[in-house]
Chains A and B, each alone.
Chain A
Amino acid sequence: MAASSSVVPVVVSAAVVPALSSSGDFSNLREIKKQLLLIAGLTRERGLLHSSKWSAELAFSLPALPLSELQPPPPITEEDAQDMDAYTLAKAYFDVKEYDRAAHFLHGCNSKKAYFLYMYSRYLSGEKKKDDETVDSLGPLEKGQVKNEALRELRVELSKKHQARELDGFGLYLYGVVLRKLDLVKEAIDVFVEATHVLPLHWGAWLELCNLITDKEMLKFLSLPDTWMKEFFLAHIYTELQLIEEALQKYQNLIDVGFSKSSYIVSQIAVAYHNIRDIDKALSIFNELRKQDPYRIENMDTFSNLLYVRSMKSELSYLAHNLCEIDKYRVETCCVIGNYYSLRSQHEKAALYFQRALKLNPRYLGAWTLMGHEYMEMKNTSAAIQAYRHAIEVNKRDYRAWYGLGQTYEILKMPFYCLYYYRRAHQLRPNDSRMLVALGECYEKLNQLVEAKKCYWRAYAVGDVEKMALVKLAKLHEQLTESEQAAQCYIKYIQDIYSCGEIVEHLEESTAFRYLAQYYFKCKLWDEASACAQKCCAFNDTREEGKALLRQILQLRNQGETPSTEMPAPFFLPASLSANNTPTRRVSPLNLSSVTP
């Protein structure tokens, strides 16, 4: 790939774009700013609006250039001059979305720019017609068959040009898009990689590449140009592949070198925090982002998810109204409103808004999953299953949909059946404790206690979000009369709660203390037992038991039974335990009965 890209006439970059500094080298921010401004102009001229927007946003975050540093517009070539009139006319048509008309007037143009616009308008016209066609097709089977008719021709023409090495970076990008639309993923990846080599500044090509790469292995085997754009790409794809730690690291680096004002990076960081369920951080970053860029709609659906999770009704309501004022026919807006209604328990309305979001963009994955959740709330399990399945169809890696399917079947009281779905979710997010706890619960229901124990332990080991795994594990040990392990789990549980320092009401705290008190009582460790019993008295439901136990202890002590100091004391109070005796959170491979996939 690298060899071939060097042969391709590097029209744009050779003529106007200076060589890009290599990856990780951000010393010359001015140069970068210049390049960003240049590419923003180039993409705008070609109607690649999103890339243009991205570059412009990033350029805006860098300090302004003095007049002397500003670059003159790229020189106009002979070819450009020839096509100038046609191009100007066509661009005007293009801007008002009259693609066919634009293509008609661009036919026969030779300059790169005009040629790209010609092909691009043909592509967009095909896409537009396809979307219109889907509404009235001739039958249910035909519905899925509506194709962009232009793709074939475009592919043939572009492949000829590609073989003749006449495509510039934008042309390669378009060729890649056409290939991807034809489901020729492998070829598409190759072409996109080539495009990034020829024109590394074009964010669109990187972004398309992001969508095609499914795992880390694939990423490793790509030979990407060694430029500073690669850093942005890597950060982005790490977020996509749920490699959040790496992604955050990259973004932090970018901020450190001077992109701190970029709203794009800030929003990506917020999304990353959202993905690892660090809700507080994500919330604060989003709030910051809203202050900087109050009319931003992108990523606001993620923000609303966070607000939803924290049940911040008033904030969510404010956000919903605000976004609705900005633009109510945006997918994100619909999603936020859906979340808002969902939080107010108006699930029908919520589902309606998610449906609207899907009408606006049928490929908007999140809405399917959220709609599934709404149907679940409405107890309409079949509709929920349908919605989740759709979500999976759009993106097989959507763990929330798998998890939702699992939950649906769990509600239908089919614990064995839902194991499969939870397992799928777990495979996608191996370090998410929620799936593990759900799996554990299913195994518990199926009376497969060994497997259940494994799940709970693992859930604890990977960092339990809901802090319930340990209690459940302890209860399992209790059931199996493995009192030592049970006590140890309770101790760890209490430690965890106290170390968190959260003053959230934990229902199981009393249970833990009660069990521990009784356990120490049985072991005749009177001091520990009485300490725990006293703790019990602090809770309503265990107060009586605690008192009774205290009395018993007092009685036994008074009878002259000395507290057995020489007895081997298996456990100490939580306080003494915390320092030395905490088990290492070693994550062993989760070896569940492996016969079922």
Chain B
Amino acid sequence: MASVHESLYFNPMMTNGVVHANVFGIKDWVTPYKIAVLVLLNEMGRTGEGAVSLMERRRLNQLLLPLLQGPDITLSKLYKLIEESCPQLANSVQIRIKLMAEGELKDMEQFFDDLSDSFSGTEPEVHKTSVVGLFLRHMILAYSKLSFSQVFKLYTALQQYFQNGEKKTVEDADMELPSREESERKMEKEELDVSIREEEVSCSGPLSQKQAEFFLSQQASLLKNDETKALTPASLQKELNNLLKFNPDFAEAHYLSYLNNLRVQDVFSSTHSLLHYFDRLILTGAESKSNGEEGYGRSLRYAALNLAALHCRFGHYQQAELALQEAIRIAQESNDHVCLQHCLSWLYVLGQKRSDSYVLLEHSVKKAVHFGLPYLASLGIQSLVQQRAFAGKTANKLMDALKDSDLLHWKHSLSELIDISIAQKTAIWRLYGRSTMALQQAQLLLSMNSLDSVNAGVQQNNTESFAVALGHLAELHAEQGCFAAASEVLKHLKERFPPNSQHAQLWMLCDQKIQFDRAMNDGKYHLADSIVTGITALNSIEGVYRKAIVLQAQNQMSEAHKLLQKLLIHCQKIRNTEMVISVLLSVAELYWRSSSPTIALPVLLQALALSKEYRLQHLASETVLNLAFAQLILGIPEQALSLLHMAIEPILADGAVLDKGRAMFLVAKCQVASAASYEPLKKAAVLEAAIENLSEAKNYFAKVDCKEQIRDVVYFQARLYHTLGKTQERNRCAMLFRQLHQDLPFHGVPLINLL
């Protein structure tokens, strides 16, 4: 089931789950690129109304905003952009830059002197307070602030920029053969470069401030939403190191490096980066006057909180608690309710690891609503729902709560929480044994791509909710015997969540479970046994349970019994009801397999009571199946039949294929058993019906490759046909049985004693 704590990380580039770029205080500096844009603006002003058509002008205006606010781009790219909107203007811009770059320093100076003219006159071309006007004034101001040597540097930078652009265009335009002399020089240069190239690759040159910001926010959002699309951890770290080498004060890079280190589970480096980030943040917070002392204290609190999050992520719960206490104390001292609220949520997450008290959680939700923190509030609600679902609350209440929180999500466009909510619904339906509903919800989440307008173009692809939904989808398909589809889903999961990523364990467990079930169905117990170790590594309780099942199948009853008893006690202690019922069922099976069905009865009744109480329909019907079987063995087939009628409907509607087959098989057995006392005519009719049921069961078993069960069914059918005197059909079934019987080892348990 989707757990929530992942999204609680305090991310400075994010509020309420939305990533913001541009959180860094930007100071404008004149760069060659900016000069090029200025030239463009100037040209636009100079060309009168007539020269440029209305459509072109409109396109140009649309182009301007991204040019003004975007990161620096190369000259050739800029030309191309302008050309796309207005070719003739591109030409004149190109000529002017060429003149300026190939001319003298005074050309540039003249250009900047002329710039301010655009404001003057009775009808100025540019309004002073417009976006363009502000940009122009910024640039003029920044230019006039430059010292003499800086002006010269700017000019050489412009020349460089121009030459790079030229080179590119020349290369693009025609691959002119270099002259002999040039090629010689080139040779020499290459020779020199060979040794240097390696280091050049590693530091691909400094980024400008805006480029760096763009890079950081892009990678951060990719890490959050679609990890596979982000750079690989190693190369991202390289980029970050490069960035930090040139500007050690770029605090956000440290944070990204922290996130990156989390990806590879490197506790040392991630702690280091996190603390470094906050050390840096503290000083920027102190510098900016708008935040003042408040900003400084705030980052301290969040620093402690993040440290707690980090420790929690790495499973150091005790350390996390200490850090959290610290955060809470500081937040309390400075009366920061929002931070306290975050702490409270974390406190719950930590508490959840130990015991399940929902008092904290309820309190947290109330407080979050009070402080107007929709994100935390719905996270709280979701945790609460999850917790209540395990505690056996009725479905309608839970669904109501989820619906209410969904309203909140849609209102605030919290797409991430919508995903979690749907994943949770999938899980809850699955828990209650309603596979159709679960299937529907899972499909709903996967086809949510149409919600792009809500997500504002952000595709969240590697969240936990997707992993959960896809995992359920795979299991559901496997249950219905669509193994190809299931493995397809798993393949997709593998691509989306590479094995070392955070949520990979989820699908790994699904994969192992499906493989285990198939191996068991096939009767390859040794294979199943080897899978058990894998499952145990991912989930110890599940592992022990499966181990017991394998032992049982291999007729090692006493070992299985020991294991199951231990597991039962443990699960009762941690209140894992689902597992308790499964274990009880296994214990019951163990009893009637060892020919003491009377002892199995109270165990089964206990399981039934539990599953009814917690409304676990799937388990309840399985229990009924077991009960009916026990009754059959005890010689009251009529009772068993009436019991079965109660359970058959939900099983056929929602149950796994294997369960369906078992149910039909059992029905047939009961029919035969109860027909013993009937008069011949009626008996024949009943037996016919039983044969029908048996073939249905056979179909189900065939879907999931249960050869053993098919063998039993065929044997039964053969006997029935014999009774009815249909020799031809009997012989056919008998032959089938013989084929299957030769393939399969015989386990020494009488056929009748298998459910």
Chain A residues in the interface with B (C-beta under 8 A)? 136-145, 152, 155-156, 159, 182, 184, 381-383, 385-386, 389, 393, 405, 412-417, 420-421, 446, 448, 593, 595-597
Contacts and interface: CB of A to CB of B under 8 A. Distances in A.
22 contacts: A136-B149, A137-B150, A138-B150, A138-B154, A138-B157, A139-B29, A139-B31, A140-B209, A140-B247, A141-B212, A144-B248, A184-B199, A382-B285, A382-B286, A385-B279, A385-B283, A405-B279, A414-B326, A414-B330, A416-B325, A596-B316, A597-B272
A377 to B, nearest CB: 17
A182 B199 contact: yes
A595 B314 contact: yes
A159 B193 CA distance: 12
Contact of A143 (B245, B247, B319, B326): B247
Interface string B243-281: 001111100000000000000000110011001100110
Interface stretch (B163-171, B296-304, B485-493, B636-644): B296-304
Contact of B316 (A145, A159, A405, A595): A595
Contact of B319 (A144, A382, A593): A593
Closest 4 CB pairs of A and B: A382-B286, A139-B29, A144-B246, A597-B268
B330 A413 contact: yes
Interface string B279-318: 1101101100000000010001001100100010010101
A182 B300 CA distance: 37
A145 B282 CA distance: 24
Given A138-B154, A383-B286, A417 B196 contact: no
Contact of A414 (B300, B311, B318): B300
A81 B326 CA distance: 75
A136 B147 contact: yes
Contacts of B201: none
B693 to A, nearest CB: 59
B323 A383 contact: no
B206 A145 contact: yes
A386 B150 CA distance: 28
A389 B27 contact: no
Output the residue of A136, A389, A393, A416 with the most chain B CB within 10 A: A416
Contact of A420 (B27, B154, B271): B271
Given A138-B150, A141-B206, A141-B207, A595 B286 contact: no
Interface in B186-232: 192, 195-196, 199, 206-209, 212
Contacts of B267: 595-597
Contacts of B153: 137-138
Given A417-B303, A597-B267, A597-B271, A141 B246 contact: yes
B30 interface: yes
Given A420-B271, A593-B319, 17 more contacts: A137-B150, A138-B29, A139-B208, A140-B27, A141-B209, A141-B247, A145-B206, A145-B246, A152-B196, A382-B283, A382-B286, A383-B283, A385-B282, A412-B300, A413-B329, A414-B303, A415-B326
Contacts of B275: 417, 420-421
B322 interface: yes
Contacts, number: 110
A382 B208 contact: no
Contacts of B318: 593
A415 B326 CA distance: 8
A138 B31 contact: yes
A218 B615 CA distance: 67
Given A416-B304, A416-B322, A417-B326, A382 B296 contact: yes
A417 B286 contact: no
A137 B209 CA distance: 14
A155 B249 CA distance: 29
B303 A159 contact: no
A251 B282 CA distance: 44
Contacts of B195: 156, 159
Interface string B533-554: 0000000000000000000000
Contacts of A417: 275, 303-304, 307, 323, 326
A184 B195 CA distance: 12
B240 to A, nearest CB: 14
A449 to B, nearest CB: 13
Contacts of B207: 141
Contacts of A415: 326
A156 B307 CA distance: 47
Nearest to B189: A156
Contacts of A159: 195
Contacts of B271: 420, 596-597
A393 B325 CA distance: 30
Output the residue of A140, A182, A382 with the most chain B CB within 10 A: A382
A412 B311 CA distance: 21
A113 B98 CA distance: 46
Interface string B93-121: 00000000000000000000000000000
B317 to A, nearest CB: 10
Contact of B282 (A143, A184, A382): A382
A163 to B, nearest CB: 10
A144 B245 contact: yes
A412 B27 CA distance: 32
A341 B249 CA distance: 30
Interface string B397-440: 00000000000000000000000000000000000000000000
A516 B271 CA distance: 44
B722 to A, nearest CB: 69
A276 to B, nearest CB: 28
A414 B276 CA distance: 16
A416 B207 CA distance: 37
A385 B30 CA distance: 32
Nearest to B293: A382
A152 B200 CA distance: 11
B364 to A, nearest CB: 22
A271 B673 CA distance: 99
Contacts of A386: 279, 282-283
Nearest to B287: A382
A143 B154 CA distance: 14
Nearest to B329: A413
A446 B157 CA distance: 56
A140 B210 CA distance: 11
Nearest to B198: A184
B296 A416 contact: no
B133 to A, nearest CB: 23
A596 B270 CA distance: 11
